[in-house]
Structure formats: C-alpha cells, structure tokens
Amino acid sequence: MFCPKCGSENTDTAVHCIRCGTAMPRMEREYGLGTSVSASSPASPRVTVSNNLVWAILATLFCCLPTGIVAIVYAAQVDSKLSAGDIAGAQASSRSAATWSWVSFGIGAVFVVGYIGLVILGATIGHR
Ligand SMILES: [Zn+2]
C-alpha cells in the first residue's frame, strides 16, 4: 500500500510509513473499498479515484471555455498518477478537475443568463 501523505510504497502490514513516519491507515477505512478489495490478492489493492473526465468534457462541449480544457487536463492526470502509484496526487487532480468543470458550468450559466437578459432588455426597449 502507499502512504497517504508522501505516497511512498510500504508493505501492506506497515503501521508507520517508512519514509515520513505517518501512521498508516487501514485500506478499508481510508478508501472505503472494504468489499471491493479481494482478500485473495492483498498485494495489489485497487484504489479507484474518479477522474471526473465526463464532467470535464461536458463542460468543454456545452460551455466552450478554456476552463473546460483545464478540467480535461486535470482529469487526464488522474489516471496517469494512479498508474504511477501517486494516489494523493490523483485525488488532488480529481478535485481540481471537478472544480474547473463546475467553474466552466458556472461561467456558461452566467453567459446564458446574461444573453437572455439582453434579449429581454432589447425586446423591452423595442416596445417603447
Ligand atoms: Zn509517508
């Protein structure tokens, strides 16, 4: 398993991290994967971190904003960091991808509301 603080690899039975000394959490409690981690293969625990790639792509498609691209970049980092064993980094990238996705949706919503507002304003002025 990997240290949640510094990411260095430790044995599954380690109580403290060999590099930074952080108390090692039990996998089940830390990641909530007690049922999905097979007891027959304790040497290769599968930790899944949502990469939020779907949200990032949707944000880019429907909002057409550079912030959506940023979200996709972060989402792409999640899988590569996971495969490299950098769980903490993957989780950080996952959060960044989600944040930038919502920023994109928020800006897109502001533009839509602003456009509708201008249309209504234009119609109101036109009736005078
Ligand atoms: Zn550590």
- Between the CA of 128 and the centroid of ligand 1 the distance, in Å, is 70
- Between the CA of 4 and the centroid of ligand 1 the distance, in Å, is 7
CA neighbours closer than 13 Å in the CB half-sphere of residue 40? 0
pLDDT at site 43 = 47
- Between the CA of 127 and the centroid of ligand 1 the distance, in Å, is 69
- Between the CA of 79 and the centroid of ligand 1 the distance, in Å, is 21
DSSP result, 66-85: HHHHHHHHHHHHHHHHHHTT
DSSP result, 11-49: -TT-SB-TTT-PBPPPHHHHHS-TTTS-TT-TTS-----
67: which 2 tokens?
A: 């912030």
pLDDT by position in tens, the chain (length 128): 888 899 999 988 888 999 999 888 875 544 444 444 444 444 455 677 888 888 788 777 776 668 888 888 999 999 899 999 999 999 999 999 998 888 888 888 888 899 999 999 888 887 65
pLDDT at site 117 = 92
pLDDT at site 104 = 85
- Between the CA of 19 and the centroid of ligand 1 the distance, in Å, is 5
- Between the CA of 7 and the centroid of ligand 1 the distance, in Å, is 6
Nearest partner of 59 among 21, 99, 92, judged by Cα = 99
Q: Any idea where the domains of the chain sit in the sequence?
A: 1-47, 49-126
pLDDT at site 107 = 85
- Between the CA of 93 and the centroid of ligand 1 the distance, in Å, is 19
CA neighbours closer than 13 Å in the CB half-sphere of residue 53? 10
51-78 pLDDT tens trace? 888 878 877 777 666 888 888 899 999 9
pLDDT at site 110 = 87
